Structure 1
Amino acid sequence: MRPAMPNTEEKYLLQMYKKETGVTDIVMRDVAVWAEQRGWKMPKPVTAVELLARRLARAAREETRKDAKSGMTYHANHAYKAPRDGATTTYWVDIDENAPKPKMYRSAKNRGEQMKQIVSDAAVDPKTLYMEPRQTSRRTDSATVGFGPDVGGGLTIHRKKGKAR
């Protein structure tokens, strides 16, 4: 029996599966069954708590609201990562509950990194990608949740021309 696979071994396993079976359009479940039959150690199943946490995160990620002043739709909850008990943990904050600027900055920086990866994967010119910084009218502080034009290690976010702030 082989030990649990790090990501590089999983990539190698995918190549082995394609080579042995001749299949080019693979179904990951089929690869997992094939690997199990060959003695690869299977990961522990997800617990009910982990499953519910994933569903809650998805619900938080999907929640949108409409700004009363601008009429624009925006994401209500924003995720940011921070250390807890020696591990990196994802926290969620509601933008309308006066989320502190450092947390919103972390969230924006993370989203910038994700956008950078999407642009990289799609081979799209980053100059054509727009992200509107927005400030909900329900926040009580007057300053914007600014994160600057470079939110993700080299991906510059440009404002659309003609849009009022």
Structure 2
Amino acid sequence: MRVAFLAAPEGVEQIELTEPLKAVSEAGGTPVLVSTEPGRIQAFHHLDKADTFPVDEVVGDATAGAFDGLVLPGGLANPDALRLDDRAVSFVRDFFDLGLPVAAICHAPWMLVEADVVSGRVLTSWPSLRTDIRNAGGTWVDEQVKICDHGLNALVTSRKPGDLRAFGAALLEVFSRQSV
């Protein structure tokens, strides 16, 4: 199972990157950190700088078909920066076009809104995104984790760092179906 983790050069919430990354690794998968620039990304603990992580692939060179799934970690600044990058938005949309599973936590569903893949789906997020999700044609629910099987691919969403255990378990369940 080869899984892309999409993060901006600065602003990803560290625990929302590291915990799902660890879950994929411990399940025998290969996590691949994809960003809009080469080098390292700067993670954050809320508003404070945390660790940096090496970028494995640049979004302009990466293709969705080379992966079994996509994880979109949150943090307020991460999806806000990514949704301004056409290559990143296209990369996310490609996973849906190919029927590959996607998992997004916290503020990351902003990328789903920007990629225009929310319509007709049921998902959760950080509560402040509920109006954006509804305006994009989705149904927002306040649940720890939500799996929405819609057509060919599944979408796993979660609200916040406190939901990471359930988020990790759900994304592994869904992604493992893809890589079989």
So what's the TM-score if we normalise by structure 2?
0.24
- Rg (Cα) greater in structure: 1
- Higher relative contact order (Cα pairs below 8 Å, separated by 6+ residues): 2
Higher-strand-fraction structure: 2
Q: TM-score, with normalisation over the residues of structure 1?
A: 0.25
